[in-house]
Amino acid sequence: MILVTGGAGYIGSHACLELLLAGHEVLVLDNLCNSSRRALERVEQLAGRTLQFVKGDVRNRSLLTALFAAYPVSAVMHFAGLKAVGESVREPLRYYETNVSGSIALCQAMAEAGIFKLVFSSSATVYGESAMMPITEHCPTGVPTNPYGQSKLMAESVLRGLANSDPRWSIGLLRYFNPIGAHESGLIGEDPNGTPNNLLPYMLQVAVGRRRELSVYGDDYPTPDGTGVRDYIHVVDLVQGHLKALERLEQVNGVSVWNLGTGKGYSVKEMIGAFEAVIGRPLPHVIQPRRAGDIAQCWSDPTKAAIELGWRAERDLSTMLADAWRWQSRNPQGYAETQPARQGATAQTALAS
């Protein structure tokens, strides 16, 4: 059985689905601070199988101990965390506590229970403003400019120290580039709270009429068309990389770092053009000044994951955008509305606190 912390969230819910489809038993721990139970009900609907759900906090050591005593967990995918850059500047301690202390509490409980396989959600943000492009895993980590990025780098350091101290650990640090898209069914997808920080969720909300226009943050970057360039990766490709990493951790000990990206960068203007082609109409947008803390460009060299995991992102940009649009247009208010939630297939255990 795989414990998926943060399994009700955007990436975690897609991971739960792929794990179920691959035949794994799945236990989700999530406090639902940024997600909905409905996501898990839809995962079960798509998989045709149930999972176990415990509502609780990853910082709660005694809950973790009780979970590991009650379920035959063999490995953990650790998605639970906070991810809003701006919020992390306003509330740094909450970010360090959740993203760093939460990871420490999880590892302590895992070690106590004799579980030593961990797949960790890291981010390309740990590279900072890389002088080298594309970014390989050998590029030095940078100095993240906000507590969110710092918390990911700190958590990576904690996990490295842990693996150095005890050879039983097998830890995969997965550095995500820019996950977008949704499951092709349109039943699960990204449902951010409040105003979206990220480009695609904002574009989607403009397209369904929840926001007036997209702000393009800067058209004076040293990039081909002046707008920021990123490596967007389909969330289903991303989580398939997690399953490959999990397999690989059966064979290697210590810490392994893998970039999960496509190796190709697209500018904001290219994203708008490709999205307009999907929705068949113009997307209202306006050029604004640069956003503080943004870098000009960032894309991966995903060769290491290809060689060591036998994994490669397969879905192209138009598929990412079409899948994201299917999700958003069928669920304009995310999980908050529309299709009635299926009643109670998800088992919730008495351990929930």
Residues 83-112 that bind ligand NAD (CB under 6 A): 83, 98, 102
Q: Which stretch binds ligand UDP (CB under 6 A): 20-28, 192-200, 235-243, 306-314?
A: 192-200
CA distance 7 to 9: 5
**Cα–Cα dist 101/85, whole Å:** 18
CB of 182 to ligand NAD, least distance (A): 12
127 is catalytic: no
- From ligand NAD, ligand UDP, none, which one binds at residue 35 (CB under 5 to 8 Å depending on kind)? ligand NAD
Distance CA 174, CA 311 (A): 13
In the complex with ligand UDP, the residue whose CB is nearer, 36 or 123, is 123
Question: Which of the listed partners (ligand UDP, ligand NAD, none) does 291 bind, with a CB threshold of 5 to 8 Å by partner kind?
Answer: ligand UDP
Which residue, 77 or 278, is less far from ligand NAD as judged by CB?
A: 77
Q: Which is nearer to ligand NAD, 3 or 82 (CB)?
A: 82
- Angle between the 268-279 and 199-207 helix axes, to the nearest 10 degrees? 30
Which of ligand NAD, ligand UDP, none has residue 277 at its interface (CB below 5 to 8 Å by kind)?
none
State the nearest-atom distance from the C-beta of 84 to ligand NAD, in Å.
Answer: 8
58 forms part of the interface with ligand NAD (CB under 6 A): yes
- Does residue 60 touch ligand UDP according to CB under 6 A? no
- Per annotation, catalytic residue among 148, 221, 232, 335: 148
Toward ligand NAD, which CB reaches closer, 134 or 181? Answer: 181
Indicate the residue whose CB is closest to ligand NAD: 9
Stretch binding ligand UDP (CB under 6 A), from 97-105, 106-114, 209-217, 326-334: 209-217
Q: How far is the CB of 122 from ligand UDP (least distance, A)?
A: 14
Is 218 an interacting residue with respect to ligand NAD (CB under 6 A)?
no
- Environment class of 40 (CB within 10 Å of its CB; exposed 0-12, middle 13-18, buried 19+): buried
Shorter beta-carbon distance to ligand UDP: residue 44 or 191: 191
What is the C-alpha to C-alpha distance for residues 256 and 326, in angstroms, rounded to an integer?
Answer: 35
Q: How far is the CB of 119 from ligand UDP (least distance, A)?
A: 21
294 binds, among ligand NAD, ligand UDP, none (CB under 5 to 8 A by kind): ligand UDP
Q: Which tokens belong to 293?
A: 């803390």
x/- track of binding to ligand UDP for residues 237-276 (CB under 6 A):
-------------------------------x--------
Sites for ligand NAD among residues 125-164 (CB under 6 A): none
Stretch that binds ligand UDP, among 23-31, 36-44, 191-199, 309-317 (CB under 6 A): 191-199
* 3-state secondary structure labels for all residues of the chain: CEEEECCCCHHHHHHHHHHHHCCCCEEEEECCCCCCHHHHHHHHHHHCCCCEEEECCCCCHHHHHHHHHHCCCCEEEECCCCCCHHHHHHCHHHHHHHHHHHHHHHHHHHHHHCCCEEEEEEEHHHHCCCCCCCECCCCCCCCCCCHHHHHHHHHHHHHHHHHHHCCCCEEEEEEECEEECCCCCCCCCCCCCCCCCCHHHHHHHHHCCCCCCEEEECCCCCCCCCCCEECEEEHHHHHHHHHHHHHHHCCCCEEEEEEECCCCCEEHHHHHHHHHHHHCCCCCEEEECCCCCCCCEECECCHHHHHHHCCCCCCCHHHHHHHHHHHHHHCCCHHHCCCCCCCCCCEECCCCC
Binder among 24, 31, 54, 182 for ligand NAD (CB under 6 A): 31
Q: Which residues bind ligand NAD (CB under 6 A)?
A: 6, 8-12, 30-35, 57-59, 79-83, 98, 102, 121, 123, 176, 179
Give me the active site residues, please.
148
